Chains A and B, each alone.
Chain A
Amino acid sequence: MIPRERIRNFSIIAHIDHGKSTLADRLLSITGGLTQREERAQFLDKMDIERERGITIKAQAVRLSYTHTDGLEYMINLVDTPGHVDFGYEVSRSLAACDGALLVVDASQGVQAQTLANVYLALDNDLEILPVLNKVDLPAADPKRVASEIEESIGLDTSEILSISAKSGLGVETLLQTLVEKLPAPSGDSDAPLRALIFDSWYDPYRGVVLLVRVVDGKISSGDDIFLMHSSSKYTVLEVGAYTPHHSKLDGLETGEIGFVICGIKTLRDAKVGDTLCAVKGAELLEPLSGFEDVKPMVFAGIFPVESADYSELGESLEKLALNDAAITWEVENSSALGMGYRCGFLGLLHMEIVQERLEREFDLDLITTAPTVVYQLKHPDGTVETLDNPAKFPNERRRETIVLEPYISAEIHVPNEFVGTVMRICQERRGEQKEMRYLTKDRVTLSYELPMSEVVFDFFDVLKSNTKGYASMDYELSEFRESDLIRLDLLVNGESVDALSLITHKDNAYSRGRSLCKRMKAELPRHQFVVAVQSAVGNKIIARETIPALRKDVTAKCYGGDISRKRKLLEKQKKGKKRMKSVGNVQIPQAAFLNILKSD
């Protein structure tokens, strides 16, 4: 057994693409955790979707064994954190399981906003931070400049900063040595009653829910009767162990150790991240570990089956999906245009896309996702507050005394100097209020904005990126609800309002929004046998209109030899275009239109 003084629990903080995965793989291979074949695939990113999108969604923890130059063996637990703001809470719980963190910064790029946000989280959790410059092998690397940037923007001492190349392996041995020397061993009381922090959990089809825990006090063993303090539920531990990175069974986990616990939990809803695990006996005398939060969805959208017969299957699929996605919520939604479906809540847009993709891929469903919306509040004259997550339910004729509140976020946007004007313009167009502008270094700026969340939710980040050559990075958190002059904008197709296409917008933007919606819809709709009119309206007032001319007539003459294959191709094309359409009245709307019409030009 390795004594607590020789345990190091840490995670790697890095902006996307700065080399976190590469470094993690490098550490695994140096300490002999992976076979060569396994090294080829980045081991820590398990799910397909994550791999394809190049992001880490689920945290993982691996236990490595490292023999230091002092001749002693150390247990190193590397906790991987999700890399996207949508999963901020999970990041914070993962960091809470650590005692230290490596801050990895690409020496050719410099500090990014998301890095900063995570560094602050780490500092909040009292972690010791070890800065590391990666990619020093690149010709564009400028370690000196980036080091001083770290020093200026975060205030870390960089006099002994490590320079590595995760790709070539340069400096990684030294990094391991330094890490053992500089990062603290876990504290905790091994004689106290058991308390462990659940910092991640997922659903394994063979084992049920797997909990990743950090033992804060005491010890947990197979066969223990345990209690989850926030969920108030009891289980018996079936198995404990660690990932080396392979699933390895152990007799128990000691104070300060990180590992997994399996105890027959059926769904992720019962295994909340941030919960405290303790022994059943004496549980009532214990304080839960701090920092627990029930994660609330921020973004809502309707998910409907293209074939209405798939409705019940969609429900079952959501149930199954929720086994390993604790954050998604849903309730039945009945749309007059799209039929029966579900109103789903997500952590953010990325989460929404991932859910839709998983539903389509893992459960083979054809789906329509409607425009994502944030949660509004309606404050009635009698003082009651109603929350509103569906534009279709937004009152058309609002009593004057009813106040509408919309959620705002505080955003930190990090850009090179030259793009400050561009970013300000984008934020202004989206009703942003500038709070502060800080020069991190002489050519890097952090802009602080208060922005309506609804303006950010859809494609703000994409627009920001594409207007700054990809340099801008952003981090945000919910700040407050503010009174706002909002109205509902409806879209009418051949005179009929399509509830699934309604959206809530600020009154000042209604006209431009209405026009662009109609234009977009025109681009999305195929021609029909008849003329289709698309209108947008506020209340009874039509504010924009487009018409889609009828299909070309299809009775033509003269079929000479060659015409046959040409004609065949023409008709085959018609079929392809028809796939994945939803009939609304007698108009066919392509599945993708429901989201595409929201995109900015």
Chain B
Amino acid sequence: MQVYIHYPYCATLCPYCDFFSTTADEDPGYQASARKELAIWSRFLEGPVTSIYFGGGTPGRMAPSLCAALIADVDKRFGLSSSAEITLETNPDDVTEQGIRDFLAAGVNRLSMGVQSLDDEELKMLGRRHDSASAIAAVAAARAAGVENLSLDLIFGLPNQSESGLKTMLERFFALQVEHVSLYGLTIEEGTQFGVDLAAGRFTELERASWLRMYDLVADAASSHGLERYEISNFARPGRCSRHNRSYWRDGNFVAIGPGAHGQRRLKNGGLQRRFNPRSVKGWRAAVESWDKAGEFAPHEELSPESWLREACMVGLRDLRLGIDPQGWARSFNLADETLMATVKRLVECGDLSAVAPHRLLSKAMHRVDAVAAELLNA
């Protein structure tokens, strides 16, 4: 079982970001509501918790004491596994050596830092407050504080980005020798500043072909620095894959705390129920109160076993090592889903998936992962 805690506060807003984030000060009721929400979830789900993920927003801006209180609560309510992965997201300009020490003391054992790029022009364009020098300094500070499991976010595919520029930047990036890299191919979402700029014609998106070449460049650079692509957009040194990243959808039990967070629980028949939190602090706090009173799980979305199976394939496909085992999954709750199996068979035949279960996405289909996922999803 896993816990995701959303801390929505950021120093400034980035123009590409469509997570729920705000520059307001922390709501004085945030902690109380988050803890109450944990308590409510514990009526529906049991531990032990194998991973806690503080995402945002910028949870690195929260008081380490808040972080400690939440971790303690998770342990109290569900029981925290001794080997649990506890990740905290932060941004380079929110990092201080002492701050990180405090988070580590609170229980955090993995840091994910929003470096995004080491090209100052690009960082400016992305609306980040840090430059490459301060990013490098922040990595050093984290190391000095004792972070052993460090992940960096990397963005590629900016309008006007050139392949040669990317290549040079990647050399510097991977020279930082981190354990894990989360890659984000920039897509421009409606409702973000970039979306507005694109619609207004202030820039054009990269052509798909060159976008894909850049994706391959990142993969090559990662592997030559000893990071393996274990997931479509995640790279890690051996043994450093993000546990949170890989297994929350397999398990299916997933506590979600904070505004905009989505949680879910698995049903005995193999189906799934989800709850979606409102994307505003106020709305979320009110929702927590009314959920408390309701006393029921009150899902916002419910998936049948068949739908869950398809969705699990859609997500599982991205895990390049573990792959998908729809037949085995279906069997585990006595389901024979022939249409889905027929689709899997067809995808195997055309060389998109490996032949034996668990089926892995083959490199030929790497660029079409969503198309393959759509086939499985809509089988």
A binds B: yes
User: Would you give the 0/1 interface string for A511-546, flagging 1 where the beta carbon is closer than 8 Å to chain B?
Assistant: 000000000000000000111000000000000000
Contact B4 A561 (CB under 8 A): yes
Question: In the complex, are the beta carbons of B378 and A571 less than 8 A apart?
Answer: yes
The answer to whether B262 and A553 touch across the interface, beta carbons within 8 angstroms, is no
Residues in B with CB closer than 8 Å to A40 are: none
**Contact indicator A562/B262 (Cβ below 8 Å):** yes
Q: In the assembled complex, which residues on chain B have CB atoms less than 8 Å from the CB atom of A555? A: 185, 212, 215, 232-233, 366-367, 369-370
Q: Are B208 and A560 in touch, CB under 8 angstroms?
A: no
Please name the residue on chain B nearest to A567 by beta carbon. B314
Cα separation A81 to B207 with both chains bound (whole Å):
60
Given contacts A558-B182, A572-B378, contact A550 B318 (CB under 8 A): no
Contact A559 B318 (CB under 8 A): yes
Inter-chain contacts of B370 with A (CB < 8 A): 554-555, 571
Q: Tell me if B249 and A552 are in contact (CB < 8 A).
A: no
The B1-55 residues at the A interface (CB cut-off 8 A) are 4, 19, 55
> Would you give the shortest CB distance from B346 to chain A, in whole angstroms?
15
Secondary structure dominating the interface of B: mixed
Q: How far, in whole Å, are A568 and B316 apart by their CA atoms in the complex?
A: 13
Interface 1/0s, chain A 113-138, versus B by CB < 8 A?
00000000000000000000000000
Q: Chain A contacts of B367 at CB under 8 A?
A: 555
A553 contacts B212, CB within 8 Å? yes
Q: How far is the CB of B306 from chain A (nearest CB, A)?
A: 13
Please, how many angstroms separate the alpha-carbon atoms of A567 and B185 in the complex? 15
- Contact of B234 with A557 in the complex, beta carbons under 8 Å: yes
B301 at the interface (CB under 8 A from A): yes
Residues of B with C-beta under 8 A to A530: 208-209
Check: B178 CB closer than 8 A to any chain A CB.
no
Q: A556-B187, A562-B276 are in contact. Are A550 and B315 (CB under 8 A)?
A: no
Across the two chains, which residue of chain A brings its CB closest to B182?
A: A557
Query: What 1/0 flags go to B359-378 for Cβ under 8 Å of A?
Result: 00000001111110110011
- Which of B64-72, B77-85, B253-261 sits within the interface? B253-261
Cβ-defined contact, A571 with B276, below 8 A: no
What residues of B have a CB within 8 angstroms of the CB of A562 in the complex?
Answer: 256, 260-262, 276
Is there contact, CB below 8 Å, between A557 and B183? yes
Contact B233 A554 (CB under 8 A): no
Q: CA–CA, A336 to B157, complex, Å?
A: 39
Q: Is B291 an interface residue (CB 8 A)?
A: no
Which range contains the number of B residues in contact with the other chain? 35 or more
A572 to B378, CA, bound (A): 6
- The answer to whether A552 touches B262 (Cβ under 8 A) is no
| Contact present for A551 and B208 (CB under 8 Å) | yes
Interface residue B211 (Cβ < 8 Å from any Cβ of A): yes
- A557 to B218 Cα, complex, angstroms: 13
**A contact residues around B263 at 8 Å (CB):** 561
A575 proximity list for chain B (CB < 8 A)? 374, 377-378
Q: Is B311 an interface residue (CB 8 A)?
A: yes
Q: Which A residues touch B205, using CB under 8 A?
A: 549, 552
From known contacts A555-B367, A560-B55, infer whether A568 and B314 are also in contact, taking CB-CB under 8 Å.
yes
Distance (whole angstroms) from the CB of A576 to the closest CB of chain B: 9
- Is residue A232 contacting chain B, with contact meaning CB distance below 8 A? no
Does chain B have a CB within 8 A of A384?
no
> B333 on the interface (CB 8 Å rule)?
no
Given contacts A555-B367, A558-B233, A574-B374, whether A564 and B315 have CB atoms under 8 Å apart is: yes
B311 touches which one: A552, A556, A564, A574 (CB < 8 A)?
A: A564
B203 at interface (Cβ–Cβ under 8 A)?
A: no
With beta carbons under 8 angstroms apart, the residue of A549, A553, A561, A574 that contacts B187 is A553
Closest 4 CB pairs of A and B: A554-B370, A562-B262, A557-B233, A575-B378
Given A552-B205, A557-B234, A561-B4, 12 more contacts at CB 8 Å? Answer: A529-B368, A550-B209, A552-B187, A555-B370, A556-B185, A557-B182, A557-B183, A559-B249, A562-B260, A564-B262, A565-B262, A565-B274
Q: Which residues of B contact A (CB under 8 A)?
A: 4, 19, 55, 157, 182-185, 187, 205, 207-209, 211-212, 215, 232-234, 245, 248-249, 254, 256, 260-264, 274, 276, 301, 311, 314-315, 318, 366-371, 373-374, 377-378
Q: Please list 18 pairs of residues, one from A and one from B, whose beta carbons are closer than 8 Å in the complex, sorted by A's number.
A: A529-B368, A530-B209, A549-B205, A552-B205, A553-B185, A553-B208, A555-B232, A555-B233, A556-B184, A561-B4, A561-B256, A561-B261, A561-B264, A562-B256, A562-B262, A571-B370, A571-B377, A572-B378
